[in-house]
Amino acid sequence: MEDTAESAAPRAFQLGDLARAGTYVVDDRGRIVEVNPQAERLLRRSADELLGRDAHDLLHRGERGEPLPRSRCVMRQPLLTSDTARGEDVWLERGDGSLVRIAWMVTPCQVGEAGTGALVLFHEIGSAGLGERQRARPAPSMSQLDRLALLAETTTTLTASLDAGETLRQLVRLVVPLLADWAVVDLLTEEGEVSRAAVVHYENGVLAHRDDLERPMPPLPRESAMPLARALRGVAAALVGPKDYEGPLDSRLAAVQRELFKATGIRSACTAPIRGVREVVGALTLGRSAQRQPYTPDDLLLVEDIARRAGLALDNARLYERQRRVAETMQRHLLPRLPSVPGLEMGACYVPAPRASQVGGDWYDAFVLSDGSAGLVIGDVVGHDLDAASGMAQVCNMLRAYAGELEEPPSAIVDRLDQAVARMAEPTMATVVFGRAERAGGGWRFRWTNAGHPPPLLVESDGRTRFLEDASGLLLGTGFAPPREDAVAELPPRSTVLLYTDGLIESPSRPLDEGLDRLRRQAAALTRHPLSAYCDRLLTRVRPADNDDDVALLTLRVPG
């Protein structure tokens, strides 16, 4: 916190003020998670209007009510540095559009069991009515320093995610309402079609989507001289108004743009190309419909620069998504069709990582061995992306070849596999469980070895469960050659063996033991369900909501 904030607030928060202090708590992302009744009264907003919202975007304003760049927000700095700070002469926007001048104090606090955030206390020391505010702010121009701060924040914020949807949301949040009442984003698809991906309006302190205006667009005309068509072709940015679309129109795209101006009431707009590294990604249109000054050429240069930075971020997100799809497609094609083994039932499923995450190297395999036994494999190559998927393919194929050619116990086959992995051109590490479902008299038994993988789970028909933790050794590819062991478990009638990858049980927000216990309980509760539905139901109940990894699951059941 800067010294100026301290020195400017010698009287902030005396003990007598606490009885009339508003209080709210923000998490580490600045979102409001708790609020007291006095804060609701001072801000003239209900808890429902405050909770879950970004406190800076919703409340913090300049003295004339203009949006405040984050780089100039003194109340936000303690949240970033985990310091305690206080001050005054900060303005917050109430729910009715008026301003309240406050004295404030921000101090770090714990949010939830493991999260951090900040406690904000404030009380009123002045106010400005809505009419006074509107007379005082015809649309304050941004200083050069503010423009540089906005561009720096744009670069930092938009490059923080490789998810195109999140990049768009952050882009809109950066420019509305600071630069515009309306933000419209038109994107070019990989097939060359135009999609109106976002139409967002700032109204009563809220960013609202106009879903009725977000839709597929007419084809991009190659000869049109209208501003949007030129921007989508990457020709130039332009200052635009309703008059540009009043005369004869040269395309259906122009007609849709005229409808946009009518529906939104935009009186002044900037339209700029969103350029990627190799091609145009789309166009950004910012519009003003409230009592604001028209855009100027200086504003157009700023919007053009913001659109250029957004283009680089969206281009990276698209490349990343394309690579993710390739890896996922390759991974799915390598996963086998389960064999038919008399006397056994099998089920399997694979779920890719969430959209914004990387594809990993999880896989399963099942095949019939020369003696009639069923070979079962679950594995996970360390790493993410195409390298992991490629490594997974090699390890999977080598294991299947060794298991099919050599009638050896699982430990010997995995040992051979480990030696082969060490000789691969690209360094690869992987965890794997390889087991055999063997006939034993009139029943079945499971013989397995484990190379650094989560233990299989055995679920009996009466709901009893146990993790098969024996025969555990080092993962593959370490360069060591430790002796590996085999273990055997009898499989009673109607029992089920679960082999799974760590994405099913691991979560950043809870201990691993809790994930394992959840798997045990849910697997037992679902044991009476047919195997065809077992995997999907188990995934729904067990997979953590904050899971950031793919999941492979292979099940084996001995019928009654």
The per-residue DSSP string of 236-282 comes to --EEE-GGGGTS--SSHHHHHHHHHHHHH---EEEEEEEE-SSSEEE
Categorize the per-residue pLDDT at 422 as very low, low, confident or very high, splitting at 50, 70 and 90.
confident
* Interval 79-94 mean pLDDT: 83
**What pLDDT score does 8 carry?**
36
**What pLDDT score does 140 carry?**
47
For residue 508, which amino acid is it?
Answer: P
What are the tokens at 318?
């698209």
Q: Check pLDDT > 80 for residue 208.
A: yes
d(CA 269, CA 237): 11
**What pLDDT score does 491 carry?**
96
- The candidate with the shortest Cα–Cα distance to 170, out of 181, 157, 180, 182, is 157
Please name each of the domains of the chain with its CATH number: 3-136 (3.30.450.20), 144-324 (3.30.450.40), 335-557 (3.60.40.10)
Q: What is the 3-state secondary structure (H, E, C) of 184-234?
A: EEEEECCCCCEEEEEEEEEECCEEEECHHHCCECCCCCCCCCCHHHHHHCC
Q: Which own/partner contact pairs does 422-425 have at CB distance under 8 Å and 24+ positions apart? A: 422/477, 422/479, 424/391, 424/394, 424/477
Instruction: Return the percentage of the chain with pLDDT > 70, whole number.
Output: 87
What are the tokens at 266?
């935009």
* Interval 420-447 mean pLDDT: 90
Low-confidence winner among 64-73, 209-218, 328-337 (lowest mean pLDDT)? 328-337
What is the average pLDDT score of the chain?
84
pLDDT digits (tens, 9 = 90+) for 436-490: 999 988 899 999 999 999 999 999 999 999 999 999 999 998 888 788 999 999 9
pLDDT digits (tens, 9 = 90+) for 50-77: 998 888 888 988 876 777 777 678 887 7
Query: Of 229 and 424, which is predicted with more confidence?
Result: 229
**pTM of the entire structure?**
0.53
pLDDT digits (tens, 9 = 90+) for 411-421: 999 999 999 98
* Interval 513-526 mean pLDDT: 94
**What pLDDT score does 11 carry?**
37
d(CA 398, CA 393): 9
**What pLDDT score does 14 carry?**
42
